[in-house]
A and B are shown apart, each in its own frame.
Chain A
Amino acid sequence: MNSTLTFFSSPAASEEEIMSNIKIQCIAIIGKMNNPLYIKNFTDTHPDLKYHYIAHTSIDVIEERISAGPESADTYLGLLYAMEDLAVYGYLTNTRVKFVVVLSVLDAVIKNADMKNIFRKIHTAYINQVCNPFYNLDGKKSIVSKKFIAAIDSIGKSNSEDISKI
């Protein structure tokens, strides 16, 4: 638990610093049994189904990365793959919960620091959710907590709005 605390007390990049070329299309949280916990589509260009498929397929790449790479507590897995106009990024928590963020690809460099920052925020939201004693950690049902959904929404929207300013 200590490590998690220090993790979040580290100075995270402020909102403004997040690069404007990141436009989050979807945030997916996948349980350790590879079951979807929460998948949020921030666009209206693609149907939810598409992101469900993307989240599901990214499990493969995440598993491959984990098996290849060294064991570490929290892992930013970087770009998992790019499909069509979408880039899929992955992150693995120490409890084997997977976060997947889908961005729309503009021909621009996405900084790892920015992506890590987004994942940290998602992790915070998830930890807050897990801290709820009534939340069943091993359950296979989707997360329905309003607070959690709001937190994910704010992460997704803050980054998708930025792009509209360009």
Chain B
Amino acid sequence: MDSYPQEFIYHHVPLMFVMGLSTIKDLTEQVTLTSPTSPVSPKSVHSRQSSFSSSTSVLTKQQLSKTLLTLLTAKSQNGIWESGKITNQIFHVMTVDKSHQFPPRKPMVRPQQIPPISIPHSSLSPLNPNSPVYPDGLIPPAWVHKHREILPSVFVGFYDLWHKSLDIKLDIKLDVKLDNLLNEKDDPSLVLQEPLGTSEPIEKEKDLNLAMEINEKRKSLYERGIKFAVVILLRPQHLEEQITDDRLAHIRKTSGLEGKNCFFVLSPHADLPDFASNLQKALYEHGLNYYREHGKRVRRKRSRLHSPGVNYIRPSIDHSENVPLSVQGWLARYDYKLATFAEFRQEIDSAINHYESCYNLLIELFVPKSPITPGLQTRSKRWIETRVLADCINLKICKLNLYIDSPSAAMMQLNKHFNTFNKLCNTEGVGESTFEYWAWLSRQYRAFGETLEVATRSGYNIPDPLTITHSTSSDYRSSSSFSNTGVNPSLVLQHPGFYYHLAAKYNSIRGDKFLELEKNLKNFDSEEVFDYPPSAIIEAERHVDHSTLTIELLTKSYEQFKKQKTGRMTFYLASEIAGTYFMARKYDMALKFFERIAKTYRKENWHTILESILRWSLKCAKESAIHNNIMEYYVELLCDRFQMSEEMRVNLQNEFINMMNNNEITSSLHVVIDMNDINSFLNCYVHYKEPETFVGTSTDFQVTFSSPPTTPPFPLKFSFLRFSFNDEYFNHYLTDNEQEILSAHDKLQLIDCKDCKREEREGEGYVWVKDVDLTISKNSTKVFEGSIIPQESGELQLQIVTLGIITANWKIELRFDVNSQREENLKRKWLTLTNNEEQDQQVSKLKFISLKGRREITSINVTQKQAKLDIKVKHQAPALLDEYYPIELTIVNLESDDIKAMFHAEFTSEMHDSEDRIVLDPSHNGTNHLKNINFGIIPANGSLVKTIFVIGKKNTNIRDLNFRIWYAFVSSIPQSLPPSQDWIEKRMEIRLSFITPFSIKFNISPQGERFVQTKKLQKLHHEKVEKYLLEAKISNICPWDINVSTIDLVLFDQANAQTKMEIIASSTDTINESLEQVWKPGHIYNFICLLKLVIMDDKLLDQDIDIGLLDIQWKRNYQSENIVIPFSETTMMVPQIQHPKSDISATIVIPSNPIVGKLLTFIYKIMNGSSSAIKINVTVEVNEAFVFSGYKQTHFYVQPFSTYYFKVNCFPLTSGKVRLPKVKITRIKETDGTEQEIKVTAPGYKESYDDDWYMIFIRPRKELLNELFSI
């Protein structure tokens, strides 16, 4: 589009000149017509002045001018695409200086008065010899330029109204100028009228001056038919003066601007944007009128030309060699002008009509041997000019049709243009066979695309093809409206990308045609055979970089499609770009593009396209010697998904092999091709026979390669096959055994690789190696069966299978990542060799057997074997607390090999502060677990018996005990200690319930007390001695016999220095050393002990007194056991002595051997340990067994630190066990008279409780006994 004159392309809008606002720097589009000699204009003086007095609220003159200009020109786009809607009423605004002069024009004369010969013609007319179109040209761009930029339809002058405050010093200077003006202009119309009400003479003068200036301008413009309007700029000072209105009215009147919309006043506080748009709106109609007048003028001329009589008027031309412009030419010229003026008026429909008419006339000019015209000479200057004009008109018509929303009409015009010129060019020898035609066509599409792009950028929406309907011409079934709706695809407007694409395509044809031409030029010297274009054109074409241009166009198209988010279309374009780069021998660029797009086609399975891309890539790679990728292209092209003939495949493979053996490549190349990323010609599957295996067990796997029926066309020999496991130890590296390739091969081959040897290979490290046949033929299946013995548990994965070819220069690896997810959901199959008996002969046959499951299994779960070990546990539950509880473990080795066993035991239900222990040997102090106890070697099928002891302390919870035995074969004892994966583990858990063996009841009875005085260190001490009887009733409550060795009371060291305790006598003292008793279940044993407590100072003692622990040494009485179980020790805390806090105590002394009828005196010994006397009250309750003598109730005082003996005399009445008369001794406190009963203790008797009172046995009288015995 840029190749066309922009005057022909741009959209026309009415032109408006603005004067009096411009400062040259302000706007770039300003027409600089100022003459340097122009006098200092008052405006500039004013502006300087106003800058002094500028207030904050009012804009300075400069600012005002600038703002106004910006507003006026803001919307006047001078571009290709206007919005198309005429509602805007916008001018194209240009600024001119005050001194602006219009170019000279031909005198305005009435046509009918002019004699034909002496017509003064416009400088652009074909009739003017100085015109560029003389004598037979049509319309030069300059003509359009004249109307677009030089001759405005409306002229607006901005003037300042003088004010005294603005101008003082320069008065004189201005006066001089005024005089000059008055002298020069002797115009009678400028007769000054006396302004009414002007008091200031200077003001009057100034206004008059201004009015004259305006009037002069108005008149000069009127001659040209240009509308003149004036804007008077007011300063704030003007608003304050009343005479301003009068002054303005005066100026208006004087300057002759009394018509409508001629005179505007801009108040300093006016809203400028509003003013700017209103000004344009007000003058718009005038602008249209201007062009309407022009249109009328041209139409008049055209009609005169069209009338047959006028034909001869055409002026004769002096230069006979030049044929003047034909009538058709003149008509076309006038039509073009009409169309242009219509466009200026924004009358789009009318413009289209005129342009179309002009276009049709232009076409006629081309047609040779037309009755009227001889036709333009092909390739002549005029021919080219005319075609350019036709191209531009075509674009105009298309564009205008888009303005009025008829894209189909636009397309129709476009098609018409192409068809017409196709025919024209073909007949004139510049048709499809020439590069010129294609260059032209490409340019047309490009220009159209660019126009459309500009349009869409400006907001034009390309209609959705679905909404377009074209009515059919054949209406034989018009009844059904549905059936008649349809689309004419050639009339559907699409987005610019399509047109750029076509432009690119035609440009590439242009390039081809030119190359063809060049070839012909070289081959044939004589130019007779071909109609060659002029050498200048050929020379120019030689400088055209066709491929760069094509790529530019394709890229433009690419951008458009990218914008439309049609990714696949961009891929197509990318492929075309790549192709163009290839043609331009820019192979690396081409490769880049091909590589980028290949992925998508591969992913979406468009193999035909992919094949084409690969072949192109291959060519590029070969040409540019990018070897790395060559092999990948070859390998992928071998895939059977690309449909090609057998011969092509053979050629391909030959090329592939030749490339590998190509000695031209000096450096050695290592290429790894990931077969998962490309279309592979081989399928590779991996299967383990079982999904799980055990350590040390031989595990089989098969790797299957299957080739399709068509490829590789002839057997392909690989150099090596590598299996890469996640554990490198198992990596296999199979090499080819260099066997002759057999023409007849088996379709199914099983290759045994179980007997690989472990060797070191260069670059591979230690691997399992074997020489096998690594030839891959078409339509065959090759199965490699291998075997591995996992060394440790975990996941063992065959990750990558690599087929490789090694030549002198190349190392090519085809990498199958078998581990990644692949699509096939195949049934698992396993190839086996089966022996069948057929006709009495053993026949081996390969056969696939089905394995369980689907999908290939590339990884296998290796676990340790199930332990073949038996643990038997023997123990006698329940266990007793504190005892060494023996558990007998019998470990039976069921393996066929000797094993080494490690033992581990622990409580699983561990208590927080447990003192439980597990020991192997009772003589050692153990912890709560046993760890890594070496049980030694257990022979195959042998067994081992071990006893461990469990000691439960404190509480009788149930304990869970966990045994673990790890074992390994003696032949391969791992380095690490268990627990580790290398040991085979056997677990066992048992529950133990614990019970207490004994129940012990304690009873402590006080056995009297006394005060003792001792003399220590010359000081008299007052000690108190108390005696207690400790009785412990121990019963065996467990279901076993218990062997008790000793029972002992271990006294604590007294915490209080005031007390001393010792054992006076114990029931065990009678037995020497050890007790050694066996207690049956339910056995009760009484342990009795007399204790003596010495209290140094009774007063100071205020706490309970510890006694000690009862310690029992015992063990369960096992029968016939070999094991020696040590005695256990159970200790029991003896309760404390509740030391009486009271300072008074009462003891009863019961005489021995009471007999019926004999006086019995009970002495109550009441001891006062305090330093004050205590009052005691005594009450005696007599019962039937005794007769009592004395006071039944009495009271007395017990003196401090003394003992009071109170006697009760009784006569027993009956014999036998009787209760003593109860004596209630109470202490009466002097202070408040409260009573407190004092407990009476009886030495040798058990303590009495509550109502229970001491019982004694009364013997009968002797005589009576004697009587009885005598009888």
Contact = CB atoms under 8 A, between A and B. Distances in A.
B471 A39 contact: no
Contacts of A52: 606, 608-609
Contacts of B568: 56-57, 59-60
B501 interface: yes
Contact of A64 (B471, B565, B606, B608): B565
B566 A49 contact: no
A103 interface: yes
A22 B881 CA distance: 104
Contact of B609 (A53, A59, A64, A103): A53
Given A49-B612, A57-B569, A60-B569, A110 B604 contact: no
Contact-residue bracket for chain B: 35 or more
B489 A87 contact: yes
A109 B605 contact: no
Contacts of B486: 109-114
Given A79-B465, A107-B490, A110-B488, A60 B567 contact: yes
Interface in B464-506: 465-466, 470-473, 482-492, 494, 498, 501-502, 505
A91 B2 CA distance: 41
Contacts of B490: 82, 87, 105-107
B601 interface: yes
B4 interface: no
Nearest to A49: B612
A83 interface: yes
B488 A56 contact: no
Interface string A74-110: 0001111111100100000000000000010111111
Given A61-B566, A109-B470, A56 B604 contact: yes
A46 interface: no
Contacts of A65: 466
B572 A57 contact: yes
B415 interface: yes
Nearest to A115: B486
Interface string B584-608: 0000000000000000010011111
A66 B1007 CA distance: 111
A105 B604 contact: no
A80 B485 CA distance: 16
B492 A113 contact: no
A79 B489 contact: yes
Interface in A41-73: 48-49, 52-53, 56-57, 59-61, 64-65, 69
A53 B608 CA distance: 9
Nearest to B415: A107
A137 interface: no
Contacts of A87: 489-490
B569 A140 contact: no
B608 A39 contact: yes
Contacts of B566: 57, 60-61, 64
A46 B569 CA distance: 18
A49 B492 contact: no
Interface residues of A, number: 38
A36 B501 CA distance: 24
Interface string A28-48: 000001111001000000001
Contacts of B487: 78-79, 109-110, 112
B474 to A, nearest CB: 8
Contacts of A69: 466
B483 A111 contact: yes
Nearest to A108: B488
Contacts of A113: 482-486
A164 to B, nearest CB: 19
A140 B605 contact: yes
Contacts of B483: 111, 113
B575 interface: yes
Contacts of B609: 49, 52-53, 56
Contacts of B502: 84
A73 to B, nearest CB: 18
A56 B505 contact: no
B605 A110 contact: no
B611 to A, nearest CB: 9
Contact of B489 (A39, A56, A103): A103
Contacts of B601: 56
A109 B569 contact: no
A81 B604 contact: no
Nearest to B609: A52
Interface in B64-117: none
Nearest to B465: A79
A83 B415 CA distance: 14
B565 A110 contact: no
A81 B494 contact: yes
B507 to A, nearest CB: 14
B489 A35 contact: no
B456 to A, nearest CB: 16
Given A36-B606, A111-B472, A82 B492 contact: yes
Contacts of A77: 466
A136 to B, nearest CB: 11
Contacts of A48: 608
B89 to A, nearest CB: 37
A123 B489 CA distance: 23
Contact of A107 (B465, B488, B575): B488
Nearest to A87: B489
A110 B502 CA distance: 22
Nearest to A35: B605
Given A57-B568, A60-B567, A81-B465, A109 B471 contact: yes
Max chain B C-beta neighbours (<10 A), residue from A35, A59, A60? A60
A34 B602 CA distance: 12
Nearest to B477: A17
A60 B561 CA distance: 10
Contacts of B494: 81-82
A56 B572 contact: yes
Nearest to B464: A68
A111 B485 CA distance: 6
A110 B1181 CA distance: 139
B463 to A, nearest CB: 12
B416 to A, nearest CB: 10
B489 A110 contact: yes
A84 B502 CA distance: 7
Interface of B: 415, 465-466, 470-473, 482-492, 494, 498, 501-502, 505, 565-569, 571-572, 575, 601, 604-609, 612
- The list of the 3 closest CB pairs from A to B, nearest first, reads A87-B489, A111-B486, A60-B566
Given A56-B571, A60-B568, A111-B472, 16 more contacts: A49-B612, A56-B601, A56-B604, A57-B569, A79-B489, A81-B465, A81-B494, A108-B488, A109-B487, A110-B487, A111-B483, A111-B485, A113-B482, A113-B484, A114-B486, A140-B605
27 contacts: A35-B606, A49-B609, A52-B609, A53-B572, A53-B575, A56-B568, A56-B604, A60-B565, A60-B566, A60-B569, A69-B466, A78-B465, A78-B466, A80-B465, A82-B489, A82-B492, A106-B490, A107-B415, A109-B472, A110-B486, A111-B472, A111-B483, A111-B485, A112-B486, A112-B487, A113-B485, A140-B605
